[in-house]
A and B are shown apart, each in its own frame.
Chain A
């Protein structure tokens, strides 16, 4: 058994199969009106799949998905009506226009905080709605335009009814395939970590601005495709397609169906399209029910119906193939960087930063050599974590520079520094709860090169980089002694397991420096001993290690040098013995009178 086969089945997709079966059964029984509803549900499924990219996978609250849907509808309808284009040309045109709009909006507001992004996307949506109502000569104003033709590909007209519904769902299936590939790629795993823990993702080299943009563009493309399908199914186009109600509907479908699961998109769309039909007597209350469903789901089932079904599946049948995970791992050699002697790998030069009026750090200067373990101690609030954050790039210093291997990296963001060789762990081990330990580690694997979005164009499960990354991740987990945890989900890991998995994630990137924030917190004595020898082994391979910890019995025997911070300045530095004996250090931190 090797890592490859161990996690090939990362999770069952029973919901997907059930949904497809339900559609097939329903479709064979349905009359022409039912077939139209089925097709409409397909259109919304595509829009929801798109919304999952930006809302579900990246976690950015866009309120423009309804607008992309409406824009796609208008573009396709107008091109068909005014220029007589067929669907094979109107669909790409609709997608292109929506993507272009998303690129302009995204370039200006994606960098802003989420509350501004939500507002800006909502403003764009309202602008488009007003445009559709006011531009009478093009759009027909409030009444819209009737007589939008059905689907025509080149000279072939797809008959209404069964063939049209089938055509819609074939397009949906193609979109679903792309979405599944995204979810099952190393790139998609990176996005999941990014949504769960932006800082942890950055320290694993993930967080490049292009990733958010790509998700937003994908959402626009899928939204417009859904709208284009919708308008030719319905036969009319009106400003209703651009109302905020469409956005609300897509949001409800996404949250109720499942914000991440491809099957959830189809489930949510099918359910919400048919709900008013099933409760005809209460038709005007259907939207009220959507609101209530949205509220219940966001509180009680944040992963929606699909997530609830998967959790049930896990409870009934257990996590996939845990037993196999105890099997020996592949002998994938971790290429040890050559011991680098006295090279300084990371240097802080007179680093200073203030938060408001509070000077958290004033002119800290120190360095780490390759293969050296430096302990960072000091009272609470003395600036230890602040210093780590400055080194890893979460804060920009007001003063001073950070040098990595002699190069100035002060201006680089955290994810860039991570790719250059600064790894990091956190006080509260930051893992994605819904990913296996193995995948939590694999996302940081730099050896395979940064994961690329283009990988989602391959067939599902064929992401070669993901397989390589998983093999390397397994080796890293073995190296820290946590191979047995590889198949557990982040949520199911114990405290010490989480620590080790995080350490493996730092290790798998083959860093030059590791910055570890209280790595021994919550570990038993035996585990601390194991961690000590593990860290010594890593240092012997040439990695410079900085450890922040309060446990002197753990830190002093381990460290080559100790730096003590107090009130944002370096109080003392030297061998553990020197620092421990320093009168100032004893007064400020270790307690007891100076000898």
Chain B
């Protein structure tokens, strides 16, 4: 595999990680707490896509991921709203560590629920669009890689417009900034926090649909996604949306390059070692800490 090829793969992987990391930051900013179930929501998104694909009647033709994507996002959103109501709302006045634990609990339930329902074997989601890969200038770009990048770009653009250009987005940011003040001026903070959880989970589920076609999915896959998103958000500056996207691409490129030079397992080891070094040298992240020490 040429280096250019590795770069292409890294960008596709980074785009999917960016969705996961963005969802993580949305919840972090709205609730001031870490949603540790984010990785397991990615895994659940993959399984949801597989189930939906078997339910949608298309006369025996394989259902393309493109058709499934909106449904998976909605299912993810519902799951995120449930997480907000069950695991966040009762604990919102308690220290952030309580939400950390409750979302770990949600993650355990998702993981072992999937294991009970589907078993431990590897599964694969349908591709976004079936067909031959594109080839030019010695590079092979699979349709799925292109679809991942395109989907992520569209979703990130929509999210940017939502947060920066709409009244809903402004309210969401106000509620994240100072919940008590926002409540005082009549912003429905509770619903907006639930919305942030729903959006975050929808992004995770979409990433699950996209990634599980290339890398397969197992019930235990969530922890790795969680760690990568967590690392992306840490090196991108805790709480920064832009930093999360940048961090996601950095993590993905690091991963594919190290995997090429060593092997996948050692690449992960090197990533964790690099993270520890980064925490030691620049605890404020690469772009500074946007959300303060709230979690």
Contacts and interface: CB of A to CB of B under 8 A. Distances in A.
Interface of A: 59, 61, 108-109, 111-116, 118-120, 122-124, 126-127, 130-131, 133-134, 244, 248, 251-252, 255, 284-285, 287-288, 290-292, 294-295, 298-299, 302
A130 B87 contact: no
Interface of B: 34, 86-87, 90-91, 94-98, 100-102, 104-109, 111-113, 115-116, 223, 227, 230-231, 234, 238, 265-266, 268-269, 272-273, 275-276, 279-280, 283, 293, 295
A294 B227 contact: no
A252 B107 CA distance: 13
A298 B97 CA distance: 10
Contact of A123 (B86, B106, B227): B227
Nearest to A118: B100
B244 to A, nearest CB: 14
A123 B280 CA distance: 13
Nearest to A196: B95
The 7 closest A-B pairs by CB, nearest first: A291-B108, A295-B105, A113-B293, A291-B109, A288-B112, A294-B105, A123-B272
B275 A59 contact: no
A131 B293 CA distance: 32
A298 B105 CA distance: 9
Contact of A126 (B91, B106, B116, B227): B227
A108 B116 contact: no
Given A114-B97, A116-B283, A288-B116, A251 B104 contact: yes
B109 A288 contact: yes
A301 to B, nearest CB: 12
B238 A115 contact: yes
A133 B108 contact: no
Contacts of B283: 111-112, 116
A290 B108 CA distance: 8
Given A116-B234, A284-B116, A298 B265 contact: no
Contact of A115 (B108, B112, B295): B295
A230 B110 CA distance: 28
A574 B252 CA distance: 65
Contact of A291 (B112, B223, B273): B112
Contacts of A255: 101
B5 to A, nearest CB: 26
Contacts of A298: 91, 98, 101-102, 105
Nearest to B274: A123
Contacts of A284: 112, 115-116
Nearest to A287: B112
A61 B103 CA distance: 13
A114 B234 CA distance: 12
B90 A133 contact: no
B237 to A, nearest CB: 12
Nearest to B273: A127
A130 B266 contact: yes
Given A284-B116, A291-B109, A302-B98, A124 B276 contact: yes
Given A284-B115, A294-B105, A118 B279 contact: no
A130 B262 CA distance: 13
Contacts of A127: 269, 272-273
B272 A59 contact: no
Contacts of A112: 279, 283
Contact of A114 (B86, B96, B106): B96
B87 A295 contact: yes
Given A118-B34, A288-B116, A291-B106, 15 more contacts: A108-B276, A108-B279, A113-B293, A119-B279, A122-B230, A123-B276, A130-B268, A133-B265, A134-B269, A255-B101, A287-B115, A288-B108, A291-B105, A291-B111, A299-B91
Contacts of B295: 113-115
A288 B111 CA distance: 8
B105 A130 contact: no
Given A108-B279, A130-B265, A59 B97 contact: yes
A114 B232 CA distance: 17
Contacts of B104: 248, 251, 294
Contacts of A285: 112, 116
A295 B34 contact: no
Contacts of B279: 108-109, 112, 116, 119-120
Nearest to B281: A108
Contacts of B230: 119, 122
